Each structure stands twice: as C-alpha cells, then as structure tokens.
Amino acid sequence: MKNWMVGLALSTAIILPACVTINIYFPAAAAEKAADKIIDEVWQLKQEQKSPAETPEK
C-alpha cells in the first residue's frame, strides 16, 4: 500500500509541472517598430551594394 502511494506522489510530482505553461507577451507596437527598423537597415544595405554598379562612368 505504501509503495502505491509513493508511486502516485512521484507521478503527480512529475506530471503536474509538465502541464504548466508560461506565456510571455511582447507589446505589438514595440515588435512592429523593431521589425520596421530591421527592414529599413536591410534595404539600405541592398541600396548601397547596388549604387556603385548603377552609376555610369564618364
């Protein structure tokens, strides 16, 4: 009888924490602002790479 109770206690101690979920919410405005900044930086890098090739030599 005692082994059964110990087994139940151990299984509960293992299964119960597995059911816990931690949710972290980021502010949508801050995430959108960061994404816009990254996109702008990428476009600037692409434009800098194209600029020397596009300018005609005199």
Q: What is the pLDDT of residues 1-53, one digit of tens each?
A: 678 889 899 988 888 877 777 777 778 888 899 999 999 999 888 888 876 65
Return the domain boundaries, the chain: 27-53
| Alpha-helical segments (H) within the chain | 2-18, 28-54
pTM over 0.95: no
Tokens of 25: 């919410």
Non-local (6+) Cβ contacts of 58 within 8 A are: none
What 3-state DSSP class applies to 51? helix
C-alpha–C-alpha distance, residues 43 and 40, integer Å: 5
